[in-house]
Structure 1
Amino acid sequence: MNKLSSVSLNHSNEMVAKVPEITLYFWIIKLLTTGMGEVTSDYLFEKLNPFISAPLSVLIFAAAMVLQFKARRFVPGIYWLVVVMVSIFGTMAADVVRVGLGVPYMVSTIFFIVALAAVLITWYSKEKTLSVHSIFTRRREVFYWLTVLTTFALGTAAGDMTATSMHLGYFSSGVLFAILLAVPALGYWLLGFKEIFAFWFAYILTRPVGASFSDWLSVAHSGGGLGLGKGAVSLVLTILIVILVVFRGGTAAQSVKLETDAA
């Protein structure tokens, strides 16, 4: 095989993934989106009739998802718009289970743990990998976003459970989950945790961390917060997300080879 053919073959075996590189900026933006989605969902429920805000959020979420699936490459604005809408939609899903159906946070947390486990087990049984470096088929992309959506709902329920049902308050709840968030990071660097396990472990925990601290900033003093207001906190977090996505490109796309990663 000549050099030109070899280069052509290598090029054909690679494509740009539709998910970003996992960098420090990725985790910062992810944390900001979790907090923004939490307070924005609550703000919409307070300021708009739920029969208006809920369908509107679902409509925007669906439109963003269509754009993401239609894109042929990683587009920072589209990708992070989907994450933001997943954050808002995931919060609403958890709140509907708790407020609308009257299900205790403990029960809803367990439910979403089971749901997440079911998604991950099905994903692995079909694809033999849970690696975000291998999102280059439509089915894997579907599994990826199902996992992301379920982690947001789980994180919302878990954060509310510790803050309210367990009476830790929003700040203490945020500190608790921040400490737990250090486990996969230290485990990966010091204890040899598998990359895929450490990633999803951390991904799940970013939700209650961001949501707990954003609630602490936004809720009134009587509710254990600083009373800055949901609208103000949501606006500031949105601006920070936009700045990072625009000036950092939402973190660069990653090149992946068309091969199955070992989990």
Structure 2
Amino acid sequence: MPITDVTPSSVTNAWSKVPEVTIYFWVIKILATTVGETAADYINITLGLGLQSTTLVAVILLAVTLAAQFMVSRYIPALYWWTVLLISVTGTLITDNLTDVFGVPLAMSTAVFSIALIAVFTAWYATERTLSIHSIRTRRREAFYWLAILITFALGTAAGDLIAEKLAVGYAASLGIFAAIIALIAIAHYVLRLNAVVAFWAAYIVTRPLGASLGDLLTQPRDSGGLAFGTTVTNVVFLVVMVALVAFLSVTTIDRVEQRAPGEVRR
């Protein structure tokens, strides 16, 4: 599967719009997925804004942030991860609305989001001939990228709640299951030579329900299988760590992929 196939006619930005996949990437991704779960609950329930009002605020913030993300010419850590965080919150709220407002069963939501994600990946590859995040240098590829990420967050929320709550597996056990799946994906990639692009997206999808299970485990009451730390403490701690890591990456630039297409002039 090619990862650098950019033709001169399709290039609108010779610089990568996404970070290099390092250990920092995965740590911040899990932090963002966890906060996406807990922040949605905090605003909706703790602050009492309500599910629909919370969703409206999140969608507006996400629309503004995505507009800014598309306007910049290269990867900016603070903007990129703020976008991921807002998509995490929005994805959670999409599933929560389907479940709590429209009464859509979690099994159906999980199935529909799975089909939608497959459709996006199919259209993306059919159009661009690559799903590699190292190729995100055109607006069309970036649009596919963010759409896929939004669906992974909604899917992960539905799948996580389905397994932990509907199937009564529990938050701790669900966390262990998803962690084991990610470990198997890593083994498949590093030992069995699973394609890097396939391994990345598989791990990316599973980190969402892992983060959702972690968030619920930390915040839910003890009689519901949680540790009862509450959404306020969890959000503050995770956000502080996330901001510190993003600041570190902004200063060191160690996750910046300054790649150009062959023959292209840097701009």
TM-score (normalised: structure 2): 0.89
Shift of 1:251: 5.2
What residue number does 1:233 align with?
234
Shift of 1:236: 1.1
CA deviations on 1:105-152 (whole Å, 9 max, x unpaired) are: 111100100010000000000001000010011100000000110101
Partners of 1:237 and 1:251 in 2: CA distance: 22
Shift of 1:210: 1.2
What residue number does 2:80 align with?
79
Partners of 2:50 and 2:31 in 1: CA distance: 26
CA deviations on 1:73-100 (whole Å, 9 max, x unpaired) are: 1111100000000000000001111111
Q: Show structure 1 runs of 5+ residues with no match.
A: 1-11
Query: What amino acid is the match of 1:70?
Result: M
What residue number does 2:42 align with?
43
Mapping of 1:38-187 within 5 angstroms? 38-46=37-45, 47=47, 48-187=49-188
CA contact (8 A) 1:20 1:74 kept: yes
Q: CA RMSD in A?
A: 1.6
Partners of 2:191 and 2:37 in 1: CA distance: 32
Partners of 1:166 and 1:103 in 2: CA distance: 16
CA contact (8 A) 2:40 2:89 kept: yes
Counting aligned pairs with the same residue, the percent is 41
Shift of 1:16: 2.1
Aligned length: 248
Shift of 1:197: 0.3
Query: What amino acid is the match of 1:17?
Result: S
TM-score (normalised: structure 1): 0.91
Question: By percentage of residues, which structure has more helix?
Answer: 1
Query: What amino acid is the match of 2:21?
Result: I
CA contact (8 A) 2:120 2:144 kept: yes
CA contact (8 A) 1:159 1:211 kept: yes
CA contact (8 A) 1:134 1:257 kept: no
Partners of 2:176 and 2:126 in 1: CA distance: 35
Q: Show structure 2 runs of 5+ residues with no match.
A: 1-10, 263-267
Question: By percentage of residues, which structure has more strand?
Answer: 1
CA contact (8 A) 2:38 2:219 kept: yes
CA contact (8 A) 2:51 2:93 kept: no
What residue number does 1:4 align with?
none
Partners of 2:156 and 2:254 in 1: CA distance: 23
Shift of 1:214: 1.4
CA contact (8 A) 2:22 2:255 kept: no
What residue number does 2:222 align with?
221
Query: What amino acid is the match of 1:254?
Result: V
The SS at the match of 1:192 is: coil
The SS at the match of 2:259 is: strand
Partners of 1:255 and 1:94 in 2: CA distance: 36
Shift of 1:36: 0.5
Deviating runs (4+, > 6 A) in structure 1? none
Shift of 1:32: 0.4
Query: What amino acid is the match of 1:256?
Result: Q
Query: Paired residue for 2:256, among 249, 253, 260?
Result: 253
Shift of 1:173: 0.6
CA deviations on 1:18-67 (whole Å, 9 max, x unpaired) are: 10000010000000000011010111110212342221111111111111
Query: What amino acid is the match of 1:125?
Result: A
CA contact (8 A) 2:31 2:211 kept: yes
What residue number does 2:244 align with?
243
Partners of 1:193 and 1:138 in 2: CA distance: 28
What residue number does 1:18 align with?
17
Partners of 2:21 and 2:143 in 1: CA distance: 19
